[in-house]
């Protein structure tokens, strides 16, 4: 049955998730992060081929932890695209860092590599926080320019380019398991690293800033827990705080759900790519009216949504008509995020302008291609959007 309202983003919770969650609440002794979170971390980092993983309560917290664990000095310049989600760039402001904004490319909605290089040379920047917008992989050559890099792969689970998986490029990589994402744990995120030192740091910052690296249910991995001192006072290693950290741990039930969702991820990707292809084929006749999304050669995209940039017509009018006919729309996150109220009073450093980002903010919207949309429904989405864009 076709739903009367087709969402842009939607979660797929089945009986398996509900029953497993109920069993956990009824029978497992731990509500806080414990064995199920540990097991999900292991499964997820194995899937990505990374050495270290820490689950958090959200993708935003994953980016926060990664930014803190970089331990950049206040005032450090960090390159980031202007088209982004608010909490990708918010930690830069919160930690006294200076975002250096780069425009995005038409159609990919990702950071423009040439403008990025020009900005790096002009501003002497060697750090970045860069997302794969809507799961569309950034040019893989980008990462080699930076000494310090945070890869926001929150929208990019199982996307790849030239056979390399998104979430394996940055010093830190971050994922989201919010209900809107490719898989969900209700709320949740993950930060990953390969470097042992960075792996220890991210765990510290995610776990109150505590020096101890024992996970939930573990004790005395260092084998000398009671032999530590603070200013000559003997002190339990579990209560030595070496960095100003956070408590961003998820509930253990998030790990229960995550393991079941991860087993469905391959099938979800097949459906998303089918839905994207239906929309893209249908909108091919609209090339005079819209800019369709494009990806780079060698990209295998697990699309988070289908973006449309209007060449003609009023976005508000068109999207309101689409919504009235039962198809949800969303804007491209923060658009040109530098224009958001959160940046009032902050210096905006964008050496080569943000013309394309402004265009995205004014003319771009997103419709769904998520794995909960059936084949019959995606053809309805395509027909309605086509009609209303053509109508103008």
DSSP of 211-225, one letter per residue? Answer: S--PPTT---TTS-G
What the block records as the tokens of 312 is: 């003609």
CB 192 within 8 A of CB 173: yes
Distance CA 374, CA 12 (A): 12
For residues 385 and 143, what is the distance between their CA atoms, to the nearest angstrom? 36
| CA pair distance 209, 148, nearest whole angstrom | 21
| Parts of the chain with a pLDDT under 50 | none
Compute how many other C-beta atoms are within 10 angstroms of the C-beta atom of residue 226. Answer: 10
Give the pair of three-digit tokens for residue 224.
């000398």
Q: Does the global pTM surpass 0.85? A: yes
- Both tokens of 107, joined, read 């159609």
pLDDT score of 42: 98
Beta bridge partners, 310, equal 290
Note the pLDDT of residue 191. Answer: 98
pLDDT of residue 63: 98
What pLDDT score does 1 carry? Answer: 62
What CA–CA distance (Å, rounded) separates 129 from 113?
14
Record the tokens describing residue 36, joined without a space: 């199920």
The candidate with the shortest Cα–Cα distance to 247, out of 205, 216, 213, 193, is 205
CA 311 to chain centre: 28
DSSP state of 73: P
Q: What is the pLDDT of residue 223?
A: 82
Q: At what angle do helices 59-70 and 86-94 cross, to 10 degrees?
A: 30
| Residue 231, pLDDT score | 93
What is the torsion angle, in degrees rounded to the nearest 10, for the CA atoms of residue 21, residue 22, residue 27 and residue 30?
Answer: 40
Taking the C-alpha atoms of residue 262 and residue 44, their distance in angstroms, rounded to an integer, is: 8
For residue 289, give Cα distances in angstroms to 197, 356, 386. 51, 17, 10
Q: Closest Cα partner for 218 from 21, 52, 31, 33?
A: 33
For the chain, give the longest Cα–Cα distance. 77
SS3 293: coil
Reference 125, options 299, 351, 281; nearest CA is: 351
Rounded CA-CA distance 90/317 in Å is 31
pLDDT of residue 2: 66
CA atoms within 13 A on the CB side of 128: 32
Tell me the catalytic residues.
181
Residue bearing tokens 């804007």: 331
Q: How far apart are CA 21 and CA 44, in angstroms?
A: 19
Return the pLDDT at 214: 78
What is the residue whose two structure tokens read 């076709």? 2
Quickly tell me which residue has 């097991």 as its tokens.
39
Q: Are 280 and 306 in contact (CB under 8 A)?
A: yes
Where would I find the H helices in the chain?
15-27, 35-48, 59-70, 86-94, 113-123, 196-206, 252-262, 265-282, 315-324, 355-363, 375-391
Q: Do 154 and 188 touch, CB atoms closer than 8 A?
A: no
């Amino acid at each position: 049955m076709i739903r009367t309202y087709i969402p842009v983003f939607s979660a797929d919770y089945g009986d398996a998730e509900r029953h497993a969650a109920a069993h956990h609440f009824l029978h497992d002794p731990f509500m806080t992060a414990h064995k199920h979170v540990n097991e999900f971390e292991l499964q997820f980092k194995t899937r990505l081929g990374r050495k270290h993983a820490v689950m958090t309560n959200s993708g935003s917290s994953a980016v926060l932890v990664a930014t803190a664990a970089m331990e950049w000095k206040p005032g450090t310049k960090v390159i980031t695209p202007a088209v982004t989600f608010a909490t990708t760039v918010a930690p830069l402001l919160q930690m006294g860092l200076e975002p250096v904004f780069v425009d995005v490319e038409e159609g990919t909605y990702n950071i423009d590599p040439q403008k990025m290089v020009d900005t790096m040379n002009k501003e002497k920047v060697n750090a970045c926080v860069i997302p794969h917008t809507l799961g569309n992989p950034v040019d893989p050559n980008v990462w080699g320019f930076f000494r310090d890099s945070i890869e926001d792969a929150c929208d990019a689970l199982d996307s790849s380019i030239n056979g390399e998986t998104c979430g394996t490029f940055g010093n830190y990589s971050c994922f989201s398991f919010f209900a809107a994402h490719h898989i969900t744990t209700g709320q949740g995120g993950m930060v990953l690293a390969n470097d042992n030192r960075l792996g220890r740091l991210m765990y510290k910052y995610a776990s109150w800033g505590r020096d101890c690296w024992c996970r939930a249910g573990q004790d005395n991995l260092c084998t000398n827990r009671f032999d530590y001192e603070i200013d000559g006072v003997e002190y339990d290693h579990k209560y030595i705080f070496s960095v100003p950290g956070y408590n961003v741990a998820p509930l253990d039930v998030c790990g229960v759900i995550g393991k079941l969702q991860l087993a469905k991820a391959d099938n979800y990707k097949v459906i998303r790519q089918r839905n994207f292809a239906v929309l893209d084929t249908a909108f091919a006749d609209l090339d005079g009216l819209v800019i369709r999304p494009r990806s780079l050669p060698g990209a295998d995209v697990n699309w988070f949504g289908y973006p449309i940039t209007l060449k003609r017509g009023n976005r508000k009018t068109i999207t309101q008509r689409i919504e009235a006919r039962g198809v949800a729309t969303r804007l491209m996150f923060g658009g040109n995020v530098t224009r958001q109220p959160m940046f009032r009073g902050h210096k905006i450093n964008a050496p080569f302008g943000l013309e394309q980002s402004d265009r995205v903010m004014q003319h771009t919207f997103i419709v769904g291609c998520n794995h909960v949309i059936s084949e019959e429904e995606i053809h309805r989405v395509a027909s309605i959007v086509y009609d209303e864009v053509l109508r103008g």
